Structure 1
Amino acid sequence: MKKFFLFAACIIAIAACKQNNKSEGAEANQKFASMCETYYQDGLKLNPIAATFIGDERYNDLLPNDGSQAYINENKNFNERYLDSLKSFDRASLNQNDKLSFDYMKDQLEMNLEGFKYHTEYFPFNQMFALPLMFGQLGSGTGAQPFKSVKNYEDWLKRVNAFSVWADTAIGNFKKGAAAGFVLPKALVVKMIPQMQSMLVATPDQSLFYGPVKLIPASFSSAEKQKITEEYRNAITNVIIPTYKKLGDYLQNEYLPKARATSGYGALPNGAEWYAYLVRQQTTTNKTPEEVYQTGLKEVARIKSAMDSIKNKVGFKGDLKAFFEYMKTDKKFMPYKNPQEILAAFENIHQRMKPNLKKMFENEPKTPFEIRQTEAFRAASASAEYNQGSADGKRPGIFYVPILDAKTFNTTSGMESLFLHEAIPGHHYQISLTQENSALPNFRRFGGHNAYVEGWALYCESLGKELGLYQDPYQHMGALGDEMHRAIRLVVDVAIHSKNMSREDAIKYMTDNEAISTEGATAEIERYMGIPAQALGYKTGAMKIRELRNKYEKELGTKFKLSAFHTEVLKDGSLPLSVFEAKMNVWAEAQK
């Protein structure tokens, strides 16, 4: 009764002053849209690599020295300035789309500003989250950095020169961190050293960075080709190789002896508070580490029960751990002879689900899609991943699959669920549809929240049976294994960083509860050690989307349409989960 009364009162008030406020409201929205666009453009100047990845070529020659105090101050001022600008707007006067933008921006700016109290610059890179590794992708000639015009080639050389400065700052920050008690775990540093050393070659033409020279367009003149070749050979010899050498030498000779034996942020000064902040940042919730941990324990128990059912269904005699070992080692689950067969198997998954995909989704991205093998230089430490395409469709979205040895590539690793998550309808649909939606302000088109983006992708894994997949019990087991993997993350990530769980105990917990090799578990645990709380977003976001779907199916009955639900989930792009839930509830009310 109270809600109805307030709603009726609002209608009367709006009707009484509708004419007077119409132009005023439109003006406010126009000013707000202008502020959002300025925020986005200024953000690209601060993050030119991000601009490159979305296909904006204006800053392809820039590489910010993001560990320098000058850059940190500039970044902080940027966030403070726009938070002040945001406060000048009356949220209530904005239209619905602008209210979402307001809430998104407010959450992002406040969270960013809170983060400046922690010295993230003391950890310039690690074995997974590393500009030196990304730089190899960009400079290979086949990544996001374009090499189609002479200017493109000139732009890259400017970035190369800036990379040497970036590396000097990174070494300086590693030293400052070590002096203040902030050092990476030894287990991570030993992985970083060979990554740097792998870029050291005897001659320029052996370098990964020589790729653009081999791909010089035929339309270039002979003089242009000769000039580019000489300049790139010189850059590789005198800048790139020496930069990777000094990074590797510093890590080997100075940093490694100071690296810590502990695994989590709890061992760092003020580490518990820092980790609690990262949990809130990465989940876009107010959940505490302990709440996340308890959810993880419950989910591990639930999924374990479902796994046991499949084990019994296929008639396997033995416990779950023995079943995991059987799936990991039996040669019948390793049928491939070469990488091409593996890539073709993933494309087959795509083709098999296409008919049902059209029933469950009203919109399909225009952005092209490709499946590629991960480049050899980074395959050993890489996971399967999706690299977004450009909004103009010139660069496709790419699903990368690391294949070290095709003959040992295991089908029970969850190939179908992996494709649903990393490719279609997971990251490719969500990211591409958002980028293609010109009705959104650019900072939302090209932004993202870990919990929403990864939550959507994990939710997509649960759609396997509805899409006609998971008919093979071992693929269903693989899907459950992937879900278990994300549930285990809730347990071990929190335990490592706030409960003093060791790297070795975390690896054991993972291998005890899922079909993963010790090598695979080691890479995963070390990822959580290097990028705390990031892995928590997957399960947190997926559980929220599934919770809302179940709720609306029950409330709406025959009025619930799954394709319409998916459209609403995706149409406004990534949002903090609290903002997302409020938006979805408004949609559900409108369906009644």
Structure 2
Amino acid sequence: MKKLTYLCLLLVFTWACNQKQQESGAGTTTGNNNLDQILKNYYEDRLKLFPLEATAIADHRYDDQLPNDISVAHRTKLKNFYNQYLNEVQSLDSATLNDQEKLSYQIFKRDMQLNLEQLTFPEHLMPINQFYSLPITLGQLGSGAGIHPFKTVKDYENFIKRIAGFEVWADTAIANMRRGMQTGWVLPKALTQKVLPQFAAMVVTDPKKSLFYGPINNLPKDFSDADKKKITAAYAEAIETKVTPTYKKLHDFLQTEYLPKSRSSSGIQAVPNGDKYYNYLVRYYTTTTQTPEQIFEIGQQEVKRIRAEMEQVKNQVGFKGDLKAFFEYVKSDKRFMPYKTDAEVLAGYNQIHERMQPQLKKLFGQVPNSKFEVRQTEAFREASASAEYNSPAPDGSRPGIFYVPILEPTQYNSTRMESLFLHEAIPGHHYQISLQQENEDLPQFRRFGGYGAYVEGWALYTESLGKELGLYTDPYQYFGRLGAEMHRAVRLVVDAGMHSKGWTREQAIQFSKDNEALSEEGIIAEIERYMAIPGQALSYKTGELKIKELRQKYTQELGSKFNLSNFHDAVLQDGSMPLQVLETKMNAWAAKQ
């Protein structure tokens, strides 16, 4: 979700000219003397470089494109693109901007500088992991259940073109990974082993058994028989001659060539320049200037604090035994698995929503117009999915959806349901993302952009609002909330531990086992996620702690003038932003109260 860094190229008729100016070191101002126009041009141009971002916001102009984003040519385009817009925005007199424009200026300038710094690291030499990479994304798109639409004949034709782009991407990926093998930029062995079965599952002898046949199983009824026949034949051929061979080629390369050269280390510091790269990722994901050492220390303090609260809950319910035994009890006792059917689990979440309604109005003055639904995760990805939120389409064609994987309803543990709903749904991701997308006063790069420390920090902060929203009356639900918070605190310790302190995968797994009520399989999957995406897991707790810190600060400073609903509205009203910018903005808000 870099999953949560959104944000695209210049109008075709100015691109070549500006690129030449870049290369000669000349200024790149194109006559845009106002920030609004620069930001509009930027976003319009960005979508051409990142067509999947366009598809995600229901802009379907580039639905037939899948650029080779790991090629040297593409990375050079990006460098020129970011440099050009950094130069344009820096040519403005920021002193003449109004408050909202100053926010955009600060955020945009920081984005361009960080994006350029990112390009100094050879990330393209490790283009695949088990958690987030194009071969996985393409499977979600091609299943028919993702963001690529399959409503018209053109939609179907567009995806065939994207499949052709994937073939080119895969050849580049293999060439890049061979270079990575020579230079030391390779995946840890454990992660290469995780990718192999994912790709093997895409290799089928019968096209009808392919994940990519999903759109054919759901052909719109209003298609003519001729169109249905033509599309079905085209998809069967594409799966047989392009999709399956490409996944097989990737799988065989990883198994025979790459796995023996994969590294035994767990942390990113083991690759050349790895320490510098991790320091960058910490700044990138936390949107702060904190060091890995500071993050590690904060994590340890938080783990200690939350453990003490967990002990209190254990004693409150009269459990005899240590905390580890209590984890096991909460995890496995049948009293916490009250459901018999999938529908009952979904109804349980909807009931949480209903119970909160009266209190929500007291805590939030601004609420989104976008519709919201709780849905069960689709069967094809349920086994490997976690609960998640998918944002609504800006045009109202798709509601905000809280997806819940329910593999076996009779084993669905209910103790984290309240905190999970607060985080993934309301007032967490649904309120924050929907309000941001509905705010048409924001420039598009902010309206449809996001920063994990803010987005996930807000969602984690909302878990702490449970008692104020009439939830957590059951101590076990509150313990579930503490478990979720502990999970984010543990992340600070193990992520910084592996990537900056030389911790092994096994050390990180053991630390998680000692402090969390997750299953061993769940813990291993989490630790390997942090190995695959260094630094990303730091964003949640960092953002939550900043929002809590600001709330506490203003409560003390403003006294009777502090209004919690106004505070929440102020945090949300300008959309996602780096935490340093948020703090400056909120200090100005507090000064006006």
- Shorter-normalised TM range: over 0.9
Question: Which residue of 458, 476, 479 maps to 1:477?
Answer: 479
Counterpart CA distance in 1 for 2:402 and 2:98 is: 37
Residue 316 in 1 paired to residue 319 in 2? Answer: yes
Counterpart CA distance in 1 for 2:187 and 2:384 is: 18
Counterpart CA distance in 2 for 1:129 and 1:430 is: 24
Counterpart CA distance in 2 for 1:552 and 1:406 is: 44
Could you say which residue in structure 2 is the equivalent of 1:72? 75
Within 5 Å, which residues of 2 pair with 1:164-313?
164-313=167-316
Question: Which residue of 536, 539, 544 maps to 2:538?
Answer: 536
Counterpart CA distance in 2 for 1:249 and 1:173 is: 16
- Structure 1: state its 5+ residue gaps: 1-27
Provide Cα deviations, 1:246-273, integer angstroms capped at 9, x if missing partner: 1111112211111112100121111111
Could you tell which deviates more after superposition, 554-563 or 369-378? Answer: 369-378
TM-score computed with the length of structure 1 as normaliser: 0.93
Counterpart CA distance in 1 for 2:252 and 2:339 is: 39
Counterpart CA distance in 2 for 1:143 and 1:370 is: 16
Letter in 2 for 1:568: A
Question: Which residue of 423, 426, 429 maps to 2:425?
Answer: 423
Counterpart CA distance in 2 for 1:535 and 1:418 is: 17
Contact 1:381–1:523 under 8 Å retained in 2: no
Provide Cα deviations, 1:540-585, integer angstroms capped at 9, x if missing partner: 1111111111111122222222111111111111111111111011
Query: Which SS does the other structure have where 2:467 is aligned?
Result: coil
Cα 1:255–1:407 shift into 2, 3 Å:
farther
**TM-fit CA distance, 1:530:** 0.5
Question: Which residue of 335, 342, 345 maps to 1:342?
Answer: 345
Cα 1:404–1:255 shift into 2, 3 Å:
farther
Contact 2:32–2:38 under 8 Å retained in 1: no
Could you say which residue in structure 1 is the equivalent of 2:550? 548
Counterpart CA distance in 2 for 1:130 and 1:411 is: 32
- Number of equivalences: 563
Query: Which SS does the other structure have where 1:399 is aligned?
Result: strand
Counterpart CA distance in 2 for 1:519 and 1:380 is: 13
Could you say which residue in structure 2 is the equivalent of 1:467? 469
Counterpart CA distance in 1 for 2:186 and 2:151 is: 41
Provide Cα deviations, 1:125-150, integer angstroms capped at 9, x if missing partner: 21111211111211122221111122
TM-score computed with the length of structure 2 as normaliser: 0.93
Could you say which residue in structure 2 is the equivalent of 1:496? 498
Counterpart CA distance in 2 for 1:145 and 1:442 is: 21
Query: Which SS does the other structure have where 2:186 is aligned?
Result: coil
Could you tell which deviates more after superposition, 69-78 or 241-250? Answer: 241-250
Counterpart CA distance in 2 for 1:340 and 1:132 is: 32
Cα 1:29–1:162 shift into 2, 3 Å:
closer
Residue 155 in 1 paired to residue 134 in 2? Answer: no
Provide Cα deviations, 1:175-231, integer angstroms capped at 9, x if missing partner: 111111111111111111111111223322222211212222222222222211111
Letter in 2 for 1:166: W
Could you tell which deviates more after superposition, 225-234 or 373-382? Answer: 373-382
Provide Cα deviations, 1:380-432, integer angstroms capped at 9, x if missing partner: 332221122211111222222223333322222x1111111111111111111
Contact 2:33–2:92 under 8 Å retained in 1: no
Could you tell which deviates more after superposition, 28-37 or 531-540? Answer: 28-37
Contact 1:29–1:94 under 8 Å retained in 2: no
**TM-fit CA distance, 1:437:** 0.6
Residue 579 in 1 paired to residue 548 in 2? Answer: no
Within 5 Å, which residues of 2 pair with 1:34-49?
34-49=37-52
Counterpart CA distance in 1 for 2:307 and 2:407 is: 30
Could you tell which deviates more after superposition, 535-544 or 248-257? Answer: 248-257
Query: Which SS does the other structure have where 1:372 is aligned?
Result: strand
Contact 1:430–1:573 under 8 Å retained in 2: yes
Could you say which residue in structure 1 is the equivalent of 2:11? none
Query: Which SS does the other structure have where 1:371 is aligned?
Result: strand
**TM-fit CA distance, 1:84:** 0.4
**TM-fit CA distance, 1:343:** 2.1
Could you say which residue in structure 1 is the equivalent of 2:375? 372
Letter in 1 for 2:47: L
Counterpart CA distance in 2 for 1:271 and 1:346 is: 43
Could you tell which deviates more after superposition, 304-313 or 125-134? Answer: 125-134
Contact 2:530–2:537 under 8 Å retained in 1: yes
Contact 1:128–1:381 under 8 Å retained in 2: no
Provide Cα deviations, 1:269-290, integer angstroms capped at 9, x if missing partner: 1111110110011001110000
Question: Which residue of 559, 562, 566 maps to 2:561?
Answer: 559
Provide Cα deviations, 1:36-76, integer angstroms capped at 9, x if missing partner: 00111111111111111111111111101011000010011
Contact 2:458–2:543 under 8 Å retained in 1: yes
Cα 1:29–1:571 shift into 2, 3 Å:
farther
Cα 1:393–1:66 shift into 2, 3 Å:
same
**TM-fit CA distance, 1:29:** 9.8
Counterpart CA distance in 1 for 2:155 and 2:469 is: 42
Within 5 Å, which residues of 2 pair with 1:428-447?
428-447=430-449
Could you say which residue in structure 2 is the equivalent of 1:88? 91
Could you say which residue in structure 1 is the equivalent of 2:6? none
Counterpart CA distance in 2 for 1:523 and 1:340 is: 27
Within 5 Å, which residues of 2 pair with 1:348-367?
348-367=351-370
Counterpart CA distance in 1 for 2:362 and 2:246 is: 52
Query: Which SS does the other structure have where 1:469 is aligned?
Result: coil
**TM-fit CA distance, 1:325:** 1.0
Contact 2:435–2:573 under 8 Å retained in 1: yes
Cα 1:290–1:197 shift into 2, 3 Å:
same
Contact 1:54–1:390 under 8 Å retained in 2: yes
Could you say which residue in structure 1 is the equivalent of 2:570? 568
Moved over 4 A (4+): none
Could you tell which deviates more after superposition, 302-311 or 371-380? Answer: 371-380
Provide Cα deviations, 1:448-500, integer angstroms capped at 9, x if missing partner: 11111111111111111111111111110000011111111111100001111
**TM-fit CA distance, 1:320:** 0.6
Could you say which residue in structure 2 is the equivalent of 1:60? 63
Query: Which SS does the other structure have where 1:466 is aligned?
Result: helix
Contact 2:64–2:162 under 8 Å retained in 1: yes
Cα 1:565–1:336 shift into 2, 3 Å:
same
Question: Which residue of 93, 98, 102 maps to 2:101?
Answer: 98
**TM-fit CA distance, 1:313:** 0.2
Query: Which SS does the other structure have where 2:176 is aligned?
Result: helix
Cα 1:243–1:339 shift into 2, 3 Å:
farther
Contact 2:463–2:481 under 8 Å retained in 1: yes
- Structure 2: state its 5+ residue gaps: 1-30
Within 5 Å, which residues of 2 pair with 1:319-334?
319-334=322-337
**TM-fit CA distance, 1:167:** 1.2
Counterpart CA distance in 1 for 2:137 and 2:405 is: 16
Counterpart CA distance in 1 for 2:369 and 2:60 is: 21
